[in-house]
Structure 1
Amino acid sequence: MNTAAHSCSIAKGPAESLGVLLGLVRTEIVRAMESELAAQQIGLRFTQFLILKKLARLGPMSASELARAVELDGGAMTRQLDQLEAKGLLRRTPHEQDRRALRIELTAAGDALWQQMTPCNDRVLEAAQRSLSAIEREQLHDYLERVLHALRDKS
């Protein structure tokens, strides 16, 4: 095999497959998380888990802020919020400064469920990294943060 041609195809492959690889990793995390939630008899899908996670970690926010945080369009967010509100896990409350706006916040039941789901999340993320050493985990985190920063950098 021609070494120059071979090295060129090797150099080209990883750059082309980065998006695919990241997509596959995300798909497997979603699958594993939904499996973990089902095993714990928590009747939520991954998107609903993410909504509760964002509210638990960031506190009350508007529906549009929450939609951006979990990458949903407005219609899909409204459907998810309706379902989670019907389950008693969150509530819509009037915004303190803007009477026209609503804030989405966890209920006590939503917070309790989040506390129950946290170990599920931890198990999935631990399993995803089980073949990595502590140093490799730090490096992976650093690399992914740098990729994210580069993609968000508009300069």
Structure 2
Amino acid sequence: MNSESLAFATPRESLGILLGLVRAEIVRAMEAELAAKGLNLSFTQFLILKRLARLGPMSASELARSVELDGGAMTRQLDHLEGKGYLRRRRHEQDRRALRIELTAAGTTLWQELTDCNDRVLRAAQRSLDEAEQARLHDYLERVLHALRDKH
């Protein structure tokens, strides 16, 4: 670990800084994978495709919350991905005023290709950990997340 990157952190800040640095490196590695495949996609666009592939069609506001974007930024991302033919906006079956965002066949095919990139990046991120350490890391991070989400 580069101790200089944490040199300015107080003990209470260092976890947040470390998590931010890990996220930044995962984003960098994933964007490098996307570029190597010749895809003009950002990490945020990758996340949008991933959410739709894993969770199915949803509203633009649900999707925006899930990838932490505001409405305007989400609209721009959706326009870009729709222009490439990876997703479409459809009227909601029960509420004709609402739109649902869903992957197209091309988007589903692309996601299947991107799954390998995602797996490669996450394996590389954990390559210095054995199986038991990977399980503990996952458990620790899950517990931290639950603690942060617990309002009581």
Same structural fold, with TM-score higher than 0.5 when normalized by the shorter chain: yes
CA apart distance, 1:99: 1.1
SS in 2 for 1:55: helix
Q: 1:115 maps to what in 2?
A: 112
Question: What residue ranges of structure 1 are gaps of 5+ in the alignment?
Answer: 1-11
For the pair shown, the structure with the greater C-alpha radius of gyration is 1
Unaligned runs of 5+ in 2: 1-8
User: 2:88 is aligned with what amino acid?
Assistant: R
- Output aligned runs, 1:139-150, within 5 Å: 139-150=136-147
Kindly report which structure 2 residues correspond to 1:40-119, keeping only aligned pairs within 5 A, or say none.
Answer: 40-119=37-116
Offset at residue 13 of structure 1 (A): 4.4
Q: Whole-Å Cα distance in 2 between the matches of residues 139 and 14 of structure 1?
A: 22
Moved over 6 A (4+): none
Structure 1 length as normaliser, TM-score? 0.91
Is 2:17 the counterpart of 1:28?
no
Aligned residue for 2:5? Answer: none
Letter in 2 for 1:151: L
RMSD: 1.0
Question: Percent of pairs identical after alignment?
Answer: 78
Measured after TM superposition, the shift of residue 106 of structure 1 is 0.1
How many residue pairs get aligned? The number is 144
String of CA shifts for 1:14-56, please: whole Å, max 9, x gaps.
Answer: 4320110000000000000000111111221100000000000
